[in-house]
Structure 1
Amino acid sequence: MIVIVLKRKGILEKYNITTYGPVLMIRTTKGLKLLDKLARPGKAWKVYANIGIVLMFIGMVAMFLIVILSDIALLSSIGDNTLPEPGRFNEARNIFLIPGVNEFIPLTWGVIALIVTLVVHEFSHAILCRVEDIRVKSMGILLALVPIGGFAEPDEEELFGKKEEDEEDKPDPYGDRRLGIVIEEEEEEEEEEEKQETQEPKTEEVPEKKATRNQRARILAAGVMANFVVTLIAFSLLFGPVLGAMAPLGNTMVVDVGEDSPAYAAGIREDMVITQLDDTSIANVQEMLDYLDSVEMGSTVQVHAATDRVVSVYDVEVTEENPEITGIMIQDTVEGSPADEAGFEQGTYILSIDGQTIRTVSDFTDFMGTTSPGQEVSVEVAGSDDVSSEYTIELAQHPDEDKGYLGVYTQGNGFVETSLGFSVGEFPAREYLQLLQQLPSMLTGAAGWIIILGLPIIGFAGEGFPGFSGTLAQFYEPVGWAEPLGVGLFWIANSLLWIGWLNFYVGLFNCLPAVPLDGGHVFRDYLYSAIYRLTNNELKAERLSATVSGTFALLILMSFLLMIFGPYFVHGF
């Protein structure tokens, strides 16, 4: 309503703002002189853009294959009745990379990343326009409460050869009221033109400039190239010196403490990270439980716990023996595995293996790391009725490592009771940090690129990685060169993560061969050139390239709609 009122009063037009519904297209001519200065190393910019063309075609093939494979997988799952129910991943709002709309993108870091993405993408288009001597009429942003896009507005006649609508061709806003005047003026103009034709020789009009195919391709690829360069810089900093300046405080966190407990009275609170008990360092829940097993009831333990990376010491009395441990839950078994053949059921608990108590997932993974294929082990399993059974099982060969394989998907209870009167949970902080640091080395294969593309949404195991904020940041502290920065290191890490990821995603998306995306225009141009060389027929090349590129655009649009609405058609809205 505000936009409509401002438009009717002429206020938006006064400030050179165009509206598309509630979306504002805000133009400015400021900075155009700066473009001419930045465009002076013309040869360097052309090399830069030529590399961008190559990367655009690589991205074009990769993204189109992803779309086609996603369609095949989706249609296969529909045929097999295995399509998952609608969830967060296919909600329409999560398709758009708009902070505050997309639930996976945090507002603060998302806005910062989006602004950087738009500026470098559109500014690169504008610079290459000036390098190729194409006029830039204005630059600006698309605004719908928050920025949703940016643009550099080149002269379309010079870039694409499309002539803008002349003022005399536009509909007369005054209609029939001025019809008589207009006709009289046109008759007078025609008479004047006839006189001039008889007196002066006719001169040929100079044709308007039109960019060549290669010039257009460089201009359009420059935005994608800028996004990829920013991605490279941001991720190089993040996965290099920034992550290298982080160290895990510990893996053990307080997840529950009663307000009437001695631990609460001593100052222990939820989300504290346990780093030490007395003089013993605590790296995980198992080490904490082992230490408390050696402490007598009634003794006082000095608990070293960190809040916001500041470690404090709390004196807590051991009020009871370590509670009974229920083990780790079997979520599922692998078909044909030793566990499956033994008859292990979902929802039951592994209590011990070869007499060793299994209290945490770490206990289980550590023990299995010491086994070998063909080894017989005794596994104690209990159901919800607390009735336990013992199985003798011969372990199989692990599919990925040289160790024994039981074939179960496991999960801890989420927390473990301690004799200090509070519950703790475990997060593999050190291992998680190592996985992040190893990501660059994984980019030699397709798996690494897939992880990078889905990192904030899917993460390593479907949990997503929104950055170092909230509870996750509690497990780490800055060290080395970043120690004076304190919490600032995590701000830098989050900014780099989202700047890098959003630029990578936007760059790849713009590679898609679908007009009006940059990749769509480049695809159509080069397709036209290839068809023209084969047929030597300009009209046929134009029609065929338009048809093929239009078909691709429609296919891609239908694919996105299928991803969004497919699960709803199967399972209901």
Structure 2
Amino acid sequence: MSLHDSPAVAVLLGLLVFGVVAELLDRSERLPPGVSATGPFLTLSSTRGRTLLDRVARPRWLWRLLGTAGLAIVAGLVVLAAVGVVLAGVAAVLDPASSPIESPGSVLVVPGVNPFLPLAAAPELLFGVLLGLVVHEGAHGVLARAGDIEVESVGLFLLAVVPAGAYVLPAGLDGGDEADSDHERGHRLGWARLYAAGPAANLVGAGVCFLALLVVLGSVAPVAGVAVGGVFADSPAADAGLERGDVLTSLGGRAVGDDDSLHAALANASGTVRVGRRDAPAVTVERSVTVVATSEASDLEPGVRILAVDGRNVSTVAAFREALADDRRAELTLEAPDGSPGGYALKPGLAGRVAPDGPLDEAGAAPDGRVVLVRVAGERVLDRADLGRALADRQPGETVTVEAFEEGDLDTFELTLGGEGDRREPSEASGESDPILGIFPEPGVSGLVLTDFGVEPYPADTYHGALRGAGLPGAADGPLQRGFAFLLLPLAGVVGLAPFGFAGFVGTAREAFVVSGVLAPLGDGAFVLANALFWSAWLQIQLAAFNCIPAYPLDGGRLVRSGVAALGERQGWPDPAERAEWVAIGLTMAMLGVLVVILAVSLLL
């Protein structure tokens, strides 16, 4: 992609032009009253909102009670936020590949630039941002008036025309030294409630949006059929014209309604299969064993097709596996994407790296060396599923025989199974070795991930369940874990909880769902409503979490500063405000330092 084609560059150029024009208008005093510009940032300020805040802040005793409850919750979240930032920094240093930050755009809340925020969802995202800011700053204003703290003005920050922030300016904050002001010393609890009000209100707002989303989801359901989330390049499905957004309704004359029925239909189908589609003509797919991904150790490239094994023609993965059942070495007949023929000598089995100090290492295999498991406990092993079946009835401490290729030679190892019975399916990418054998297994057969069809189903049922609070497969279960799964939906494809991230009912993903029931008359409007509620809930949680970070001038940093000053006054410290300021500065620098490390490690390594 050229520089001119980069969305980030286009956005930056647009902001540059907007900033120059806005600055010229501001300096020539041509902007309306209450509007000022600093480069591409616009500030809209007004005093008219103060009367509304006074009205909403009644009765004040009730707001003070709610503010105290919110303060207790947010104070705990500030501690959790600090711990979370530190743990994220440690994780980024220990395992840079696990970070979802893949580019500078990953940290910008700009649809189309951030890979997790699609441009198609921009209107709903902007609505969510604006709603979150209004709720956040409105709560600050209401608790200010409930605590008898004057409000000088209210306003909104815009990055060009995009809402980027909002503010309520209480008296005493404009100088930035509120911890040392006489006004705050007389209203410590009121100021603390004020700081905590924003994050607390966002959490309440997120809960309201989530409950409203549940109501809307009652009329939204996964489509009948198998939605296509992606099609592998150079695969049989791609050659037949199948594409993302298609909904498969039949295969080989059999109706398919979910992934299981699709796999069952493929298992009983021949090499040539007719595929029916919803709202589109049926197509014919000529099945062929195709490499769609490889490990770093493999010499093959994705897109290569395997036509035969030792001269025996194969058109399905099942036939390929059957041909390898008794082979320790096999000659593959290949066809490159351009049609050119080729061959490949394969040692078929489960490839992986030996975990240092694991059972296989202790049995004599070279630590960190690559091996290809052929037989385990007398069972033929071609992939991780075979390994799981071979060890299904085995217990830690048992001795088994393992046949494996190591540096091209077939060796036999007698090893004692380790672990505590945990038979997860780890991988090199997850950083986890098999706890039984002590190996970091590669996906597929000998590091080759294969398909004979080429479609990646879109997990509409999974996303629909996660939106309703059911969690994600593979994630820990529990109320907190389910809530965390909801937050991970846009990143689900990156963190490995799902094949794709969920960015709302937008683009081709919308084809995977249908609207029925009371919202059926709205048609696509129901999807727009669901998107607005989803992003409003998601963004408000993010806004609350971000503001709980104990870094100045975020709410968490202000809360820590005010709390330390109050503690110093009670303990009789000399100049408690100055000590509070140094604590706030130290925490801010620490948090910024960790965030810089996370960004640097993620982007550079």
The normalised TM-score by structure 1 is 0.69
Deviation at 1:229, TM superposition (A): 0.7
2:491 aligned with 1:457: yes
Q: Per-residue deviation at 1:122? A: 1.0
Task: State how far apart, in whole Å, the 1-side matches of 2:400 and 2:523 are.
Answer: 48
Offset at residue 20 of structure 1 (A): 3.3
- Helix, strand or coil: the match of 1:410? coil
Alpha-carbon spacing, 1:95–1:401, altered in 2? closer, same or farther (3 Å): closer
- 2:552 alignment counterpart: 515
Question: Within 5 A, what are the aligned runs for 1:124-523?
Answer: 124-145=139-160, 146-156=162-172, 212-238=187-213, 242=217, 245-247=220-222, 249-251=224-226, 253=228, 255=231, 271-277=245-251, 278-281=253-256, 283-284=258-259, 285-293=262-270, 303-306=275-278, 310=279, 314=282, 316=284, 323-325=315-317, 326=320, 332=352, 335=355, 336=358, 364=385, 368=389, 371-373=392-394, 399=422, 408-411=441-444, 416-417=451-452, 423-431=454-462, 433-434=464-465, 437-439=469-471, 444=478, 447-448=481-482, 450-458=484-492, 461=496, 464-523=501-560
* Partner SS for 2:502: coil
Q: Once superposed, what is the RMSD of the aligned Cα atoms? A: 5.1
Q: CA deviation at 1:232?
A: 1.5
For 2:421 and 2:226, how far apart are their aligned partners in 1?
26
CA distance in 2, matches of 1:470, 1:44: 45
The equivalent of 2:107 in structure 1 is 95
Q: Quickly say closer, same or farther: Cα 1:369–1:248, change in 2 above 3 A.
A: farther
Q: What is the deviation of 1:349?
A: 11
Indicate conservation of the 8 Å contact 2:505/2:531, yes or no. yes
Return the alpha-carbon distance in structure 2 between the equivalents of residues 549 and 529 of structure 1.
Answer: 13
Instruction: Report the CA distance shift for 1:274/1:443 in structure 2 as closer, same or farther (over 3 A).
Output: closer
Q: Which amino acid aligns with 2:224?
A: L
- Any gaps of 5 or more consecutive residues in structure 2? 1-19, 289-312, 322-347, 426-434
What secondary structure does 1:504 align onto? Answer: helix
1:11-22 maps to which residues of 2 (within 5 A)? Answer: 11-12=30-31, 14-22=32-40
What amino acid sits opposite 1:6 in the alignment? L
Which SS does the other structure have where 2:575 is aligned? helix
24, 37, 51: which one aligns with 1:33: 51
In structure 2, the residue corresponding to 1:152 is in which secondary structure?
A: strand
CA distance in 1, matches of 2:189, 2:175: 11
Output the amino acid matched with 2:172: E
Q: Per the alignment, in what secondary structure is the counterpart of residue 507 of structure 2?
A: coil
Contact 1:329 1:347 in 2 (8 A): no
Instruction: Identify if the C-alpha distance between structure 1 residues 348 and 255 changes in structure 2 by more than 3 Å, giving closer, same or farther.
Output: farther
CA distance in 2, matches of 1:393, 1:481: 62
1:355–1:528 distance in 2 versus 1, CA, 3 Å: closer
| 1:8 matched to 2:27 | yes
Residue type of the alignment partner of 1:221: A
SS at match of 1:468: coil
Structure with bigger gyration radius: 1
The one-letter code sitting in structure 2 at the alignment partner of 1:152 is V
Q: Secondary structure at the match of 2:268?
A: helix
Preserved CA contact (<8 Å) 1:161 1:211: no
Mapped to 1, the partners of 2:221 and 2:390 lie a distance apart of: 27
Q: 1:405-429 CA distances to partner (integer Å, 9 max, x unpaired)?
A: 78745359777335xxxx4334444
Note if 1:557 corresponds to 2:592. Answer: yes
Query: What is the alpha-carbon distance in structure 1 between the residues aligned to residue 564 and residue 521 of structure 2?
Result: 55
- What residue number does 1:546 align with? 581
Kindly indicate whether the alpha-carbon contact (under 8 Å) linking 2:137 and 2:166 is maintained by their aligned counterparts in 1: yes
Q: Structure 1 residues 554-563 or 243-252, which shifts more?
A: 243-252
Match of 2:116 in 1: 104
Give the deviation of 1:27 after TM superposition.
1.0
Give the distance between the partners of 2:560 and 2:547, measured in 1 at CA.
11
The amino acid that maps onto 2:277 is A
Q: Describe the superposition over 1:170-219 as per-residue Cα deviations: whole angstroms up to 9, x where unpaired.
A: xxxxxxxxxxxxxxxxxxxxxxxxxxxxxxxxxxxxx9897601111122
Q: Counterpart in 1 of 2:325?
A: none
**Alpha-carbon shift at residue 65 of structure 1 (Å):** 0.6
Contact 2:210–2:534 (CA under 8 A) maintained in structure 1? yes
For residues 304 and 506 of structure 1, the distance between their equivalents in structure 2, rounded to whole angstroms, comes to: 45
Q: CA deviation at 1:136?
A: 2.5
Distance 1:259 1:157 in 2: 62
Matched-pair contact (CA < 8 Å) for 2:232–2:238: no
Name the CA distance, whole Å, in 1 between partners of 2:560 and 2:593. 19
* Whole-angstrom distance in 2 between the partners of 1:439 and 1:269: 28
Alpha-carbon separation, structure 2, partners of 1:495 and 1:509: 21
The CA deviation at 1:268 is 6.0
In structure 2, what residue type is equivalent to 1:372? D
* Alpha-carbon distance between aligned partners in 1 of 2:530 and 2:371, rounded to the nearest angstrom: 39
Which amino acid in the other structure matches residue 511 of structure 1?
C
Whole-Å separation in 1 of the counterparts to 2:529 and 2:206: 15
Cα shift at 1:560: 1.5
Q: Amino acid of the residue matched to residue 2 of structure 1?
A: V
Q: Which moved more, 1:461-470 or 1:552-561?
A: 461-470
Query: What one-letter code is carried by the residue in structure 1 that aligns with 2:152?
Result: K
User: Per-residue deviation at 1:503?
Assistant: 0.9
* Aligned partner letter, 1:504: I
8 Å contact kept, 1:38–1:127: yes
Name which of 129, 134, 138 aligns with 1:119. Answer: 134
State the shift of 1:57 in Å. 0.7
Q: Which moved more, 1:476-485 or 1:558-567?
A: 476-485
Please tell me whether the aligned partners of residues 333 and 339 of structure 1 are also in contact (alpha carbons under 8 angstroms): no
User: How far 1:552 moved relative to its partner?
Assistant: 1.0
Amino acid at match of 1:561: V
Q: Compare 100-109 and 44-53 and name the one that shifted more.
A: 100-109
| One-letter amino acid matched to 2:125 | G
- Per-residue deviation at 1:379? 11
Distance verdict in 2 for CA 1:337–1:567, change over 3 Å: same
User: Does the CA-based 8 Å contact 2:551-2:587 persist in structure 1?
Assistant: yes
Matched, 1:526 2:563: yes
Name the SS for the 1:11 alignment partner: coil
Alpha-carbon deviation of 1:466?
Answer: 2.5
2:37 match: secondary structure:
strand
**Superposed displacement of residue 492, structure 1:** 3.2
* Structure with the bigger percentage of helix: 1
Q: 1:455 to 1:410 in 2, by over 3 A?
A: same
- Determine the structure 1 residue equivalent to 2:88: 70
**SS at 2:491 equivalent:** coil
> What are the superposed Cα offsets for residues 91-112 of structure 1, whole Å, 9 maximum, x if unpaired?
4443343445534333413222
Query: What SS does structure 2 have at the residue aligned with 1:292?
Result: coil
Distance 2:387 2:510 in 1: 26
- What code does the residue aligned with 1:410 have? P
Separation in 2, partners of 1:528, 1:481: 55
Report the CA distance between 1:348 and its aligned residue. Answer: 7.4
Q: Distance in 2 between matches of 1:546 and 1:367?
A: 57
Distance, in Å, in 2 between the alignment partners of 1:442 and 1:235 is 21
2:597 aligned partner, one-letter code = L
